[in-house]
Homo-oligomer: A and B are copies of this chain.
Amino acid sequence: MAAADLTTHPGHLARRLQQAHYLLWNTMVSEEITSPQFAVLNTLVAEPGLDQRTVGERVGLDRSTIAEVISRLSRRGLLDKVRDPQDGRRFLLRLTDEGVRTHRKLTVRTARMNQVFLAPLTAEERTVFFDLIRRVADAAEGLRNPGEPLVAPG
């Protein structure tokens, strides 16, 4: 059988896109704080006091990965973890002052990086780019829980 053309394989393209982004992030935004870590900081700026599981849900990280990311941010002193007095299973998360400062600094750099990253596309193409990726990702996400259909069953 002939070899497949990977340039028409969405999974391969997705991986290459993420690698390219990782590289640019590393050089233009931060070598310490990663993009997923920034996503967590960003979520806690919008909604302080969320628990770990919910933060993971917001940014798209499973229970194990979010635990690791939170642990690193906590070790760096960017957020505090306190047990929920209402529910002893949960830990409530909140950024420290240092965490807020870091988020502010990285937000500016991230915006600059996105400009460079998207430079090859026109404004209209960027809109399409976001739309297409979001639709594909959302649809695949939806296949996860067959028990939770998007529309109520007849």
> A residues touching B (Cβ–Cβ < 8 Å)?
1-4, 6-25, 35-36, 39, 42-43, 45-46, 59-60, 103-104, 107, 110-111, 114, 116-121, 125, 128-130, 132-141, 143-144
A63 to chain B, nearest CB (A): 14
The answer to whether B14 and A18 touch across the interface, beta carbons within 8 angstroms, is yes
Closest residue on chain B to residue A43 by CB atoms: B3
> Which residues on the B side are within 8 Å of A39 (C-beta)?
6, 12
Oligomer: number of copies: 2
| A39–B11 alpha-carbon span in the complex (Å) | 10
Closest residue on chain B to residue A35 by CB atoms: B11
The answer to whether B13 and A133 touch across the interface, beta carbons within 8 angstroms, is yes
Query: Knowing A1-B104, A16-B137, A119-B139 touch, does A11 contact B21 (C-beta < 8 A)?
Result: yes
A11 to chain B, nearest CB (A): 4
> Which residues on the B side are within 8 Å of A20 (C-beta)?
136-137, 140-141
The answer to whether B134 and A24 touch across the interface, beta carbons within 8 angstroms, is no
The answer to whether A10 and B6 touch across the interface, beta carbons within 8 angstroms, is no
> Which residues on the B side are within 8 Å of A133 (C-beta)?
13-14, 16-17, 129, 133
The answer to whether B107 and A137 touch across the interface, beta carbons within 8 angstroms, is no
The answer to whether B129 and A117 touch across the interface, beta carbons within 8 angstroms, is no
The answer to whether A17 and B19 touch across the interface, beta carbons within 8 angstroms, is no
Closest residue on chain B to residue A65 by CB atoms: B19
A137 to chain B, nearest CB (A): 5
Q: Can you list 21 A-B pairs with a CB-CB distance of less than 8 A? A: A1-B45, A1-B103, A1-B104, A3-B42, A4-B110, A7-B134, A9-B110, A10-B21, A10-B114, A11-B22, A11-B114, A12-B59, A12-B60, A18-B18, A20-B136, A21-B140, A117-B136, A120-B135, A120-B139, A128-B132, A133-B133
